[in-house]
A and B are shown apart, each in its own frame.
Chain A
Amino acid sequence: MRQLCDADPLLRVLIRPAAMIELTEPEWEALLPRARACHLLARLTVEARAGGFAGKLPARVQDHLAAASTVAAHHERTVRWEINRIQRALQHLDSPIMLLKGAAYLAAGLPAARGRLVGDIDIMVPRNALETVERALESAGWQPTTFAPYDQRYYRTWMHELPPLRHRDRDTVVDVHHAILPPTSRLKPDPGELWAAARPLGGSRLHVLAPTDMVLHAAAHLFHDGDLHRSLRDLVDIRDLLICFAGQSHFWPSLVPRAAALHLGRPLFYALRHCCCLLGTPMPEVVASAAARFAPPSPIVRAMDWLVPNALIPGSSDAAAHRNVAGVLLYVRSHWLRMPPWLLVPHLARQALLRTSPGRD
């Protein structure tokens, strides 16, 4: 795997942005679509501008980098405005609001937000406030994206979030969570513990997760709650958070104990392993070896070492068949982790049935 991060130009420029100057046009030609596919093009623009070499790149590359950063700037404006609107919609409730993922990185001014595209806005509220928050958002113009009884029930019974709410005028989507993983999931971090450690943002009711918890949430989201498909950007998020928080003296020593307390040791193990192998992220040896106690049996580690880069990085392997196998295995894995088999089998059967029925597109 060490060879992969040297051999793959996309990983190379993510680890060492200055390597962009050395890329030939054919290398850019191969890199641009891959970087765009995993939403990392705007990130490269930020790095190229910060490094002062953006103007030295080939003209066509500059066009694409500039376009990507235009979109990222638009996302940033949109997210700031949505946070403002959500605060306003919930101003009469006394429940605290936790911003998660992209919105949190932006509101907290973290380097992970630079040139980052944000899809939906993710917030978390205490479970007992869920209903009032949903009603307040609905009366401010957010509407359920699905009315199908099955979907509604799926979310409300088995998921850690409400069915997504879309704003009727602005078309933006808010995901309202009450936990960071589904209640049916094999791992169940206690939301109460996350709230107890949360950091308020500048005197408002907005909060973000504590630094360790932010890393653990990103790790759980990537390695426990999704199918990893084209999620290299999420690994870059974790890398950015680790590097940013490394400056706080208590961050590294408290990371592994916190993971144990929140039952998120396994995702942390994977996150550290792949940040290290794929993105060359520096970390104390003692932390990496402490996290190793959360590792699965070694054949699974080896299988994941093969599966993860294949899924995370678009076009990392020339054999499309390999990618498909990796994709299917990880899709099954993500659902396996998400819910026990007696819930999973009927759900997947239904999804498969829906896919084959005509007129769905």
Chain B
Amino acid sequence: MNVGDLSLGLFAAQLAARGVAIRWGPFVSRIVSGLPELAPPLHLLYADFPLEPPGGICDFHVRVRPRSRSVPWSERRVEFLLDHAPAFPPFSRKFALAVLEWGLNWCVYGSHRFLLIHAAAVERDGRALLLPGRPGAGKSTLCAALVIAGWRLLSDELALVELQEGRVRAIARPISLKNDSIDIIRDLAPDTVFGPPAVDTHKGTVAHMKPPSPSVRRAGETAVPDCIVMPRFVGGEALQLDPVSKANAFWAIADSSLNYEILGEAGFTALVRLIDECRCYALTHSDINEAVAALDQLSREAEVSKERYAAAV
């Protein structure tokens, strides 16, 4: 049974009482929240996600709840709790959905059976494309545009690489878009479904895009790592897709990994293998359509491009 199979009323009641156990890829989170404004956007964005049958073990026990105000005139705030403890300082109640999404990302940070990379990840023909980058590099925008162009969404914020098998796992949770990106994606696909935007967060305006149903349905399928592309949006620049040496790619990914150091030797081994298996590029672009076309071409020409990449680096 999926979230969308429950009526909104029933979903909201469960959310407020014993919580809803939602599976997203390898994880199950039990979400509890009595905030009435949180139920409708969750019910909307997570409609295609399976509900875990009762009796099983949930990985993350999370709760979003109003924080008691120290003085009556201070702003209403909410806090995110993981395992009964606040994970980070409270935020304005206006950002409740964003707080939950940040919190669910936070949960993944402790999943050390994966090499965790700060990257978006998409798949086509069983091959995974990773888009690592610092905040503001435009990886979520590019990820959303690729998904609209037919790529399967693996994950937006954190890429999960299995330590043993080296394959990329899917999460398929909503894509978090900021500021101008929201309009860029709306223009690209006017029927895209968004959650209510959070205005004036520390990241500016944040809105969450509903992941396509097929991506959510196929969240159990893994993908073989094939390409690492480090995107950079620079206004007015012509599109440029340059091969990056494996050594440089190694350091860039180690740097953007959240648990490379914690994993120790296992992290090193997994990263070496990942870099060995991937063609690595740096992408500079100022037009989302051109960027999507370039990456489409890169994936279509996997075999040819592999040879070209090998010759170039």
Asked if B242 CB lies within 8 Å of chain A CBs, one says no
Query: When the two chains form the complex, which single residue of B61, B71, B85 contacts A356, counting CB atoms closer than 8 Å?
Result: B71
Interface size on A, residues (CB 8 A): 28
Closest to A31 in B: B57
Contact of A74 among B74, B113, B261 (CB under 8 A): B261
Which residue of the partner chain, among A25, A36, A67, contacts B111 with CB atoms under 8 Å? A67
Q: How far is the CB of B259 from chain A (nearest CB, A)?
A: 8
- Using an 8 Å CB-CB cutoff, how does the interface string of B51-62 with A read, 1 for contact, 0 for none? 000011111010
Interface contact B263-A29, CB-CB below 8 Å = no
Partner of A314, one of B56, B75, B84: B84
Indicate the size class of the contact surface on chain B: 20 to 34
Q: Is the CB of B84 within 8 A of A73?
A: no
Give the distance in Å from the alpha carbon of A138 to the alpha carbon of B261 in the complex.
25
Q: Which of B103-153 contact A (CB under 8 A)?
A: 110-113
Complex formed: what's the CA distance from A64 to B57 in Å?
11
Q: Is B301 an interface residue (CB 8 A)?
A: no
* B-side contacts of A356, CB under 8 Å: 70-71, 74
Within 8 Å of chain A (Cβ to Cβ): is B190? no
With A74-B261, A74-B262 in contact, do A60 and B57 touch (Cβ < 8 Å)? yes
Which residues from chain B contact A32 at a C-beta distance below 8 Å? 57
Contacts of B61 in A (CB 8 A): 33
Residues of B within 8 A of A202 (CB): none
Q: Within 8 Å of chain B (Cβ to Cβ): is A280?
A: no
Chain A: CB-nearest residue to B21: A29
Q: Which residues of A lie under 8 Å from residue B113 when comparing CB positions?
A: 63, 66-67
Q: Which residues of A contact B58 (CB under 8 A)?
A: 29
Within the complex, which residue of B70, B89, B264 is in contact with A73, where a contact is CB–CB below 8 Å? B264
Of B89, B112, B264, the contact of A77 (CB 8 Å cutoff): B264
A12 within 8 A of B: no
Shortest C-beta distance, B245 to chain A (Å), equals: 26
The answer to whether B83 touches A33, judged by C-beta atoms less than 8 angstroms apart, is: yes
In the assembled complex, A22 has its CB within 8 A of some CB on chain B: no
0/1 per residue, B191-206, Cβ < 8 Å to A?
0000000000000000
User: Nearest chain-B residue to A78 (Cβ)?
Assistant: B261
CB distance from A320 to the nearest CB of B (A): 10
Chain B contacts of A358 at CB under 8 A? Answer: 74-75
Which A residues are CB-close (under 8 A) to B262? 70-71, 74
Please give the residue numbers on chain A whose beta carbons come within 8 Å of chain B beta carbons, in ascending order: 25-26, 28-29, 32-34, 36-37, 58, 60-61, 63-64, 66-67, 70-71, 73-74, 77, 230, 314-315, 355-356, 358, 361
Q: Give 18 A-B pairs besides A32-B57, A358-B74, A361-B89 with Cβ atoms closer than 8 angstroms.
A: A25-B55, A25-B56, A36-B83, A61-B57, A63-B59, A63-B111, A64-B59, A66-B113, A67-B112, A67-B113, A71-B262, A74-B261, A74-B262, A74-B264, A230-B85, A356-B70, A356-B74, A361-B90
